[in-house]
Amino acid sequence: MPEVTVSKKAPEAAPSRLGDWFHPAFPFRRPVASSPFSMLREFSEEMDRMFRGISSGTEMEAWTPAMDIQRCNGNLVVSAELPGLRREDIKVEVSDDALVIEGERKQEHKEDHEGFHRWERSYGKFYRALPLPEGAKTDQIKAELKDGVLKVTIPAPEVAKKTRQVPVNA
């Protein structure tokens, strides 16, 4: 039978800081002044970041495209950034008091290379209802989609409103 030698080591010193208690692979190393609640919040944020984008695939995620609204030459011009969307994916409706822009994106990207296959999908719906000013000529609205930007032009003369300044008392 082989001979085994046993030696006694001096005990290691206790950790001097709260951060020394954690394993090096643990993503958080906070000084003693940190509260346990901040550590829990950071842990929750890390878990959210890790699972972000994972869904069942049956539900549609909401997304909001960037929109600009401006007055130009007696028109109200609404520009919406809709990259990758086709005319068929966008619906523009108007009522007497609102402009509704809604749509859905369905993007799929496949790559086949030696040793791996990658398939990315991105789905989402959006819905925006924008109130129209008084006097907007809803029967003359024009919409155009060019290079991923939807531009809706609404003839809307500027209506002069009676305003007065109100003094602010101390």
Please state, rounded to an integer, the average pLDDT across all residues of the chain: 78
Of residues 6 and 47, the one with the higher pLDDT is: 47
CATH of the domain at 88: 2.60.40.790
Give whole-number Cα distances, 39 to 25, 33, 47, 49, 166, in Å.
15, 11, 12, 15, 49
Question: Is residue 78 domain-shared with residue 145, that is, in the same domain?
Answer: yes
User: What does the pLDDT look like over 82-124, one tens digit per residue?
Assistant: 988 889 999 999 987 899 999 988 878 888 888 888 888 777 8
Name the residue range of residue 22's domain: 18-51
Number of domains observed in the structure of the chain: 2
Residue 32, token pair as written in the block: 């003693």
Q: How sure is the predictor about 32, in pLDDT bands with cuts at 50, 70 and 90?
A: very low
User: What does the pLDDT look like over 57-91, one tens digit per residue?
Assistant: 444 456 788 899 999 888 999 999 998 888 999 99
What end-to-end distance do the CA atoms of the chain give, in Å?
Answer: 96
